Amino acid sequence: MIVRFIGLLMSLVVAWPVVVLAGEDVPGRFDFYLLSLTWSPTYCEAEGGSRKDAQCESGRRYGFLVHGLWPQYERGFPEDCPTGVSPAEADIRSLADLMPARGLVRHEWQKHGACSGLAPADYLKTIRTARETVRIPAAFQRIDNYVMVSPTEVEAAFVAANPGLKPDGVAVTCDGRRLREVRICMTRDLGFRACEEVDRRGCRADRVVLPPMR
């Protein structure tokens, strides 16, 4: 009887997912990266314009910009890992074409980048390499009017434009009616990979709006 009880207990322990508790996040200990590309016109229409964000000024005509490159666990993600260093201003400015808001770069380093285990300059270089690995589909390089799309169509366009990317490695997020971001899962050496949890949390709307570039 005791042996059977111990066996049952052990089976439950094996089946139960490992949970990383708050305060246990360690720089460099993660499973993969998540590259988040934000559709700038949605951000500007939703909140960036009222904040007078520079990327939302008329004539900028930004499409997909980098929101961040986030270390991930298979379940959950590390954040706010201890760090005593910050990115240099010159390194922050070097990302202006991908992340125009310098404050965002600093925030992303503090919340996510420090968990990569990389030095700030190396982490920012990794952001650029990750972004340059991904091709933006031609259909989303110029949007002059409001366009209705389905999240599935957007995912399929990214899959078609990026050999090696699979549907279970990309997810679209939305705010209920507008496309917000395209999130792409990448290995630690920046190859494409599947990510069940990220894919499962994608936008559930049938159709979403793409605001135009201005």
126-141: pLDDT as tens digits:
999 999 999 999 999 9
Average pLDDT over residues 113-135: 98
Residue 47 has a pLDDT of 83
Instruction: Name the pLDDT band for 14 (thresholds 50, 70, 90).
Output: very low
pLDDT value for 15: 38
Q: What is the pLDDT of residue 214?
A: 85
What is the pLDDT, as a whole number, of residue 138? 97
Mean pLDDT of 84-113: 96
* For residue 144, pLDDT beyond 70: yes
Beta strands in 24-178 (DSSP E): 32-39, 64-72, 147-149, 170-174
Sheet holding 64-72, edge to edge: 64-72, 32-39, 179-186, 170-174
Other CB atoms within 10 A of residue 140 CB: 21
- pTM beyond cutoff 0.85: yes
9, 16, 107 from 181: Cα distances, Å? 42, 32, 18
DSSP assignments along 156-210, one per residue: HHHHHHSTT--GGGEEEEESSSBEEEEEEEE-TTS-B---HHHHHTS---S-EEE
Q: Where are the domains of the chain?
A: 31-210
- Per-residue confidence (pLDDT) for residue 23, from 0 to 100: 53
Fold of the domain built from segment(s) 31-210: Ribonuclease Rh; Chain A (3.90.730)
pLDDT at position 6 over 60: no
Tens of pLDDT, residue by residue over 19-29, are: 445 457 999 99
- Cα torsion 135, 104, 48, 127 to 10°: value is 0
